[in-house]
Amino acid sequence: MRLFGRRETRSWEAASKDIATASLDLRNEFYQRCIEALDWNIGRRIIRPPQSRRTLSGYAELSIIALQILTAGAASIEHGYIDVKNEEMFLIDLGPRLCGGNNETAPEVVIYEAVRFRELQSNPELLSIRVASQIASHLYRENNTEADRRLAAMLFAKLVPSFYLRLQVTVARAFGDDKTARQIERSIKEIRAAGRGY
């Protein structure tokens, strides 16, 4: 509990490095879970397979990174790890770290996308659909796949809430807040027990 000012934790500069390191693996794992959900539905002939399997890149990766930035900023303020006045500096530091050396995901573009997503933060379902739609469009690019693209987006949107919570765990651990991380992990287990998320 925070009485005055921010909670005593690690510096945001140090946490930013840890968040970026963990986020790359988390991003790839999330994309892999989307592919697994897609394959499960393809195997049951619920959806047609995409014409080609693409590695995570382009707008799909951009939208996931933007969600990671947005989540890191919101969770850091919500849990008192940083002051609101330091949010912009924290995100400016974190953005390039999350992008790495990938030219397709320039930090300025990612931060712009995160700002667009921030408008949807009050509507988690719409935010989930926006991220999921980018991933579905990445896999189903052909003109005659609109129905499959929509179905894939609905499948992927079901995975976003637990991904969002896993991002919050990453942020809490990066700031050295194991208590909050454990509380969020319990929520993730409840989501999985109810058959949602991953």
Q: SS3 letters for 47-95? A: CCCCCCCCCCCHHHHHHHHHHHHHHHHHHHHHCCCCCHHHHHHHHHHHH
The per-residue pLDDT for 5 is 44
The per-residue pLDDT for 58 is 84
The H-or-E segment that residue 106 falls in is: none
Residue 198 lies in a domain: no
In this prediction, residues 169-198 reach a mean pLDDT of 88
Do residues 89 and 55 touch, judged by C-beta distance below 8 A?
no
Residue 100: is its pLDDT beyond 60? yes
Look at the chain and report how many structural domains it folds into: 1
Residue 2 lies in a domain: no
Structure tokens, 73: 């900023």
Residue 189 lies in a domain: yes
Residue 48 lies in a domain: no
Share of the chain above pLDDT 90, in %: 50
In this prediction, residues 31-38 reach a mean pLDDT of 94
Range of the domain at 25: 12-43+53-193
The per-residue pLDDT for 89 is 87
Residue 118: helix, strand or coil by DSSP? helix
Residue 1 lies in a domain: no
pLDDT-derived band at 66, boundaries 50, 70, 90: confident
Residue 3 lies in a domain: no
pLDDT-derived band at 2, boundaries 50, 70, 90: very low
Residue 45: helix, strand or coil by DSSP? coil
Q: Average model confidence (pLDDT) for the chain?
A: 85
pLDDT-derived band at 59, boundaries 50, 70, 90: confident
Packing angle, helices 12-43 and 58-78, rounded to 10? 130
Residue 22 lies in a domain: yes
The per-residue pLDDT for 6 is 46
Residue 68 lies in a domain: yes
Packing angle, helices 160-174 and 178-193, rounded to 10? 160
Do residues 89 and 185 touch, judged by C-beta distance below 8 A?
no
pTM score above 0.95:
no
Q: What would the pLDDT profile of 150-176 be if each residue is shown by its tens digit? A: 999 999 999 998 899 999 999 999 999
CB neighbour list of residue 192: distance below 8 Å, 6 or more residues apart: 162, 198
